[in-house]
Amino acid sequence: MIKFCSQCGSPTHFSIPGGDNRQRAICTVCGHIHYTNPRVIVGCVPTYDDKLLLCKRAIEPRINLWTLPAGFLENGETTADGAARETLEEAGIIAEEIQLYRLYDVPYINQLYIFFLCQIKGGKFAPGPESYETKLYKYSEIPWKEIAFPVVKQTIEEFFQDKKNEHFPVRMSEIERSW
């Protein structure tokens, strides 16, 4: 909730601006409209041979659980560039052969996830500052009870299913609140 204007510091009030259909924080002095939009999370599904790389989180949320290398898209980045950057930062991977794979709408937490498939250049990887550990897994080795997020679990499951046919279609779906 935005209580003060980022332009002039004055208090805001919530109302529907002309031509809009949602309540927004509007400055009571300068009239600046403050829009809040979903956060975009980008990441990769890094593979080497028949294995998938996961990172053990060294930060909250979900510290000490396993995830795919991913994070928030930065201003000025393409989604593929952001995914490659996050993969390098979290897993020391130079991502090669990046291709769009999965899109998830997660409206109950105002997020959009975009995952790309990528190959691990030279098979080299190492944990970055946001990861305690990085490891390659076969399907049978995945620590399923220690996966950090529902979108990551679903992506891993679909990846290994697609791997059986060597067919990786781009899919889009919604993750609904599970509680």
For residue 179, pLDDT over 70 is answered with: no
Residue 46 confidence (pLDDT): 98
The CATH code that applies to domain 39-171 is 3.90.79.10
Q: Across residues 48-66, what is the average pLDDT? A: 96
Q: Across residues 71-89, what is the average pLDDT? A: 97
Q: Across residues 155-177, what is the average pLDDT? A: 95
Q: What percent of the chain has pLDDT over 70?
A: 99
* Pairing between β-strand 66-67 and β-strand 51-57 as defined by DSSP bridges: antiparallel
Tens-place pLDDT, residues 92-115: 999 989 999 999 999 999 999 999
Residue 136 confidence (pLDDT): 97
For residue 1, pLDDT over 90 is answered with: no
Predicted TM-score of the model (pTM):
0.89
| Tokens, residue 5 | 């204007």
Domains of the chain, residue spans? 1-36, 39-171
Q: Across residues 16-23, what is the average pLDDT? A: 94
For residue 87, pLDDT over 80 is answered with: yes
* 3 state SS for 89-133: HHHCCCEEEEEEEEEEEEHHHCEEEEEEEEEEHHHCCCCCCCEEE
Residue 21 confidence (pLDDT): 95
Q: Across residues 38-63, what is the average pLDDT? A: 96
Q: Please tell me which residue, 176 or 53, carries the higher pLDDT value.
A: 53
* Annotation: CATH topology of 1-36: Ubiquitin Ligase Nedd4; Chain: W; (2.20.70)
Tens-place pLDDT, residues 123-155: 899 999 999 999 999 999 999 999 999 999 999
Q: Please tell me which residue, 142 or 179, carries the higher pLDDT value.
A: 142
Residues belonging to the chain: 179
pLDDT band at 177 (very low <50, low <70, confident <90, very high): confident
